Structure 1
Amino acid sequence: MIIAGGGTGGHIFPAVAIAHALRKLQPGIDILFVGAKGKMEMEKVPQAGYEIKGLDIAGFNRSSLIKNIGLPFKLIKSFWQVRSIIKTFQPDAVIGVGGYSSFPVLRYAQAQGIATFIHEANSFAGKSNIMLGKKASKIFVATDGMEKFFPAEKIMITGNPVRQNIVNNIISRSEGIQFFGLEPAKKTVFVTGGSLGAKGINEAIDAGIAAFAQNNVQLIWQTGKPYADRASAIAVENKNIWANSFITQMEYAYAAADIVISRSGAMSVAELCVAKKPVIFVPFPFAAEDHQTANAQNLVNKQAGLMIKDSEAKEKLVAKAIALAGDEQQQNMLKGNIAKLAITNADEVVAKEILRLIS
């Protein structure tokens, strides 16, 4: 089996979850990942115990058109690399999880008559997945209403695969607090902008940083690389703040957290439902079709989360978090409602269906 894609944790972590489920159901299975050179999958996939091959490929750069000059050459080169990988590995099936490295792998596999599967995590499908969906054997989706993107007969609603260390999390709050060197008696806010960080959230937290200590609230702050140095300098001066660019053991952060501030990408939402935490969502405003706002609004409508626009985060986010930290009744309501939306076995459902269709 080849699993292709990556770029962000939202693509990588469900891919690894599917790989684990396949290996559990069929222990002798041979799994190879294919990703983009220089992207985080090249580090995270080997850490999870799988081999990965990197392609010389890049996505379309919307902010600087001049940077796209070499794109056609990279795409052609990546197809030659894919051809070599598939000829050598000879997969029974290829699974695409999104990210631009998945496109040439699935496209070539389809041309060779190899079974292909797509996992689309978002409520708005990516363009490459829409193109690939026409020839895919099966398309696994998180939500209903995806017939506008894919052939209805190929769709299977499975939800989004969540990392097993979060599904099976038995770490206590006190163990989580101890892991970050914080105080058990204080309310704890966990701030995460996803695997790459979130500028709007980081700047809002920075602007209101003094208010946390003033209100006896402590902070676990996952910043992403661009903001890491600034946040680390702040943490040195404030004992109530733990800051780092990335948290490998997210189960400890979820265990420690009384409240979470997060982007609302599909995988973040899926994990937070499983973690059963009161959440304030700050959707990434430039996501395709504004799908992060749609994801967050879906939970707000069910009283399973709160939402603040990225453009209003600097003025409102910290005050909202501190108000929620002091309101046990609202915390319990949000916790109870978000827990009802949790799907814990999507990886197994996807793996079983793939193995059934290729056997």
Structure 2
Amino acid sequence: MSNYKFILSGGGTGGHIYPAIAIANELKSRYPDAEFLFVGASDRMEMDKVPQAGYTIEGLWISGIQRKLTLKNLMFPLKLITSLLRSRKIIKTFKPNVVIGTGGFASGPLLQMATSKGVPCLIQEQNSFPGITNKLLGKKVDTICVAYDGLDKFFPKEKLKLTGNPIRKDLLAVKGKHIEGKDVFKLIHSKHTLLVLGGSLGARRINELVEANLTFFENQNVQLIWQCGKLYYDRYKQYNDLKHVQVHAFLNNMDMAYAAADVIISRAGAISVSELCIVGKPTIFIPSPNVAEDHQTKNALAVAEKNAAVLIKESDLDNDFQNEFTALITNEEKQSELSKNIETLALVNATSDIVDEVEKLLKK
């Protein structure tokens, strides 16, 4: 049988959406006749990104709980009940063989209903410190695919499979496309290219850093592909007027952006770290300090300690950034060393290994 039906649920940020799309693509390559349905939060970016990848998506009226008392929090019980009922209807109508969750608000009600109906379920946890949705689901699902050791602190040990994080296949082909990438972005070949990534929504502190250093970058013969995030685009789009700067709300052709880059500045979310290990470019990590258990710093430290990236904490940026950046951009040997070392950390078969686990559930 190859006309299986799969539901994939996850979203809110690219870190949850792209793993789900990567898993779907791998399943589709193995089962071309299979049917796929994505379930996301109706007002989040997955409603745009999933159809762009060629898949159908249903939206749930769901959001997370705010840390302070707000009207949104008062609405949460109603949203949750509505989403559970909608999820039950989706599962009853679509009749999936397996449901896969990659984190984010929408995957909670969907997988809750799937497990209660006896549908085999798998979750994929990208981080070294799991989010609340996956922690709650871990007790109920059949399989938990993880990217880090030591997650038996949060999940039943017998369900854990160390696979790594799913990566978009186009990133495996970035090598050797440096000139092509620069041409796609109409960049000057004789200049260094800095790719700045603050995540799909943007990173305020990284954007402020870049803005403050635009003249410094120009003096270093550096041109920028600056993904500032959709929340910040209106503020920073004025810098598109500068010859050495390209400001983007979001990068749809991320593979070519990676290919064009000589050096990358990035947050240290789990998917970003996994992608950067595969891309193998010299990277400066500036982890967000505003995440659970400071897991971005832990992610970045795991790479930096192996001399595979540069780590600068937000609190040290004013003192250290220009010196660290100059030391990297002017030293090709250091760039080469970081590239070589970060590549050794890549788990290139993660997507395939996760789908192997999905296939085991098909046989249950």
Which TM-score applies when normalising by structure 2? Answer: 0.95
Counterparts in 2 of 1:246 and 1:270: CA distance versus 1, 3 Å: same
Match in the other structure for 1:291 = 295
Q: Identity of paired residues, percent?
A: 47
Instruction: Name the residue aligned to 2:24.
Output: 19
Could you give the per-residue CA deviations for residues 176-204 of structure 1, whole angstroms, max 9, x where no partner exists?
A: 11222221011111100111111110001
Alignment CA distance shift 1:269-1:199 (3 Å): same
Q: 4+ residue runs of structure 1 moved beyond 6 angstroms?
A: none
**Which amino acid in structure 2 is aligned with residue 346 of structure 1?**
A
Q: Which amino acid aligns with 2:121?
A: T
1:275 equivalent to 2:279? Answer yes
Deviation sequence 1:10-37 (CA, Å, 0-9, x none): 0000100000111111111111100001
Note the alpha carbon deviations across 1:183-232, whole angstroms, 9 max, x for none. Answer: 10111111001111111100011111110111211111000012212322
Q: Does 1:67 align with 2:107?
A: no
Does 2:260 align with 1:256?
Answer: yes
Please tell me whether the aligned partners of residues 97 and 362 of structure 2 are also in contact (alpha carbons under 8 angstroms): yes
- 1:342 is paired with a residue whose SS is coil
Residue 327 of structure 1 is aligned with which of 304, 328, 331?
331
Which of 348, 354, 359 is the equivalent residue of 1:355? Answer: 359
> Structure 1: which amino acid aligns with 2:321?
L
Once residues 165 and 19 of structure 1 are traced to their aligned partners in structure 2, the CA distance between those partners, rounded to angstroms, is 14
Aligned to 2:194: 189
RMSD: 1.3
Number of residue pairs the alignment of both structures matches: 358
Q: How far 1:172 moved relative to its partner?
A: 1.9
Query: Relative to structure 2, which stretch is displaced further, 86-95 or 127-136?
Result: 127-136
Give the aligned partner of residue 132 of structure 1.
137
* Cα distance in 2 for residues equivalent to 1:335 and 1:8: 27
1:307 paired residue number: 311
Match of 1:152 among 157, 171, 185: 157
Cα contact 1:25–1:352 (8 A) shared by 2: no
For 2:193 and 2:174, the matched residues in 1 are separated by 18
Q: Distance in 2 between matches of 1:307 and 1:264?
A: 9
Query: SS of the residue aligned with 2:39?
Result: strand
AA aligned opposite 2:55: Y
**1:30-109 pair list within 5 angstroms:** 30-62=35-67, 65-109=70-114
The answer to whether the Cα contact below 8 Å between 2:98 and 2:361 also exists between their aligned partners in 1 is no
Classify 1:130/1:232 alpha carbon distance in 2 versus 1 (closer, same or farther; 3 Å). same
Compute the TM-score of the two structures, normalised by the length of structure 1: 0.97
Q: Does 1:123 align with 2:128?
A: yes
Contact 1:262 1:281 in 2 (8 A): yes
CA contact (8 A) 1:217 1:322 kept: no
The one-letter code of the counterpart of 2:25 is: H
Contact in 1 for aligned 2:239/2:246 (Cα 8 Å): no
3-state SS, counterpart of residue 24 of structure 2: helix
Candidates 233, 240, 256, aligned match of 1:235: 240
Unpaired stretches in structure 2, ≥5 consecutive residues: 1-5
- For residues 76 and 65 of structure 1, the distance between their equivalents in structure 2, rounded to whole angstroms, comes to 19
